[in-house]
Amino acid sequence: MNILNFGFIFFLLFSFSLYGQSPVNWNFEFRDKGDKIEVIATASMQKNWNIYSQHTEDNGPIPTGFYIGEELVVFQENSKAIKHLDPLFEVNVIKFKENASFSYIYQKGAKKEIKGYVTFMACNDEKCLPPSDVPFNFTW
């Protein structure tokens, strides 16, 4: 294999690995509150990236959505949000920069597990990535 072929293969592998990295990292905590579980979801965004509120205008970005099972549930938004007219979407948006914290109180039942996922869209000032799903689960 000559150096040009090796360089081309390295470039392809490097490009694919960069493409697969999300500018948003999610962390999930579960706090036992007796007959309830508090689910805390925290998103950390790379510089210049943001995610959107669960409450967005039509024709805007994909809102962040939390699902337990297949049911969409509304989490409390605990971080300061920014509301403004977004030039990418030309509508008012509510977004979070740097980090965002969400929480939800789940009532325990006969089932001893919470399984779900968050769907979100990440954008910067120039582009948006396709929506992504990040799963979470907790057993007690």
Query: CATH number, domain at 92?
Result: 2.60.40.1250
Domain for residue 10, yes or no? no
Tell the residue number behind the tokens 């910067």, with chain if given. Answer: 124
Task: For residue 128, give its domain range.
Answer: 23-139
Under the banding of pLDDT at 50, 70 and 90, the label for residue 58 is confident
- Residue 15: the pLDDT is 35
Stretch 126-133: mean pLDDT, rounded? 96
- Residue 16: the pLDDT is 36
How many domains does the chain contain in total? Answer: 1
- Measured between alpha carbons, how far is 11 from 18 in angstroms, rounded to an integer? 11
Stretch 43-59: mean pLDDT, rounded? 95
Average pLDDT value over all residues in the chain: 88
Domain for residue 106, yes or no? yes
- Residue 10: the pLDDT is 36
Sheet containing 71-73, strands listed edge to edge, beginning at the edge strand earlier in sequence: 71-73, 65-68, 113-120, 132-139
Tens digit of each residue's pLDDT (9 = 90 or more) over 4-48: 443 333 333 333 334 458 999 999 999 999 999 999 999 999 999
- Residue 97: the pLDDT is 97
Sheet containing 99-107, strands listed edge to edge, beginning at the edge strand earlier in sequence: 24-32, 36-45, 99-107, 76-77
Domain for residue 5, yes or no? no
Tell the residue number behind the tokens 């024709």, with chain if given. Answer: 59
Tens digit of each residue's pLDDT (9 = 90 or more) over 98-115: 999 999 999 999 889 999
Predicted TM-score (pTM) of the model is 0.83
Q: Is the pLDDT of residue 66 over 50?
A: yes
Stretch 55-82: mean pLDDT, rounded? 96
Domain for residue 4, yes or no? no
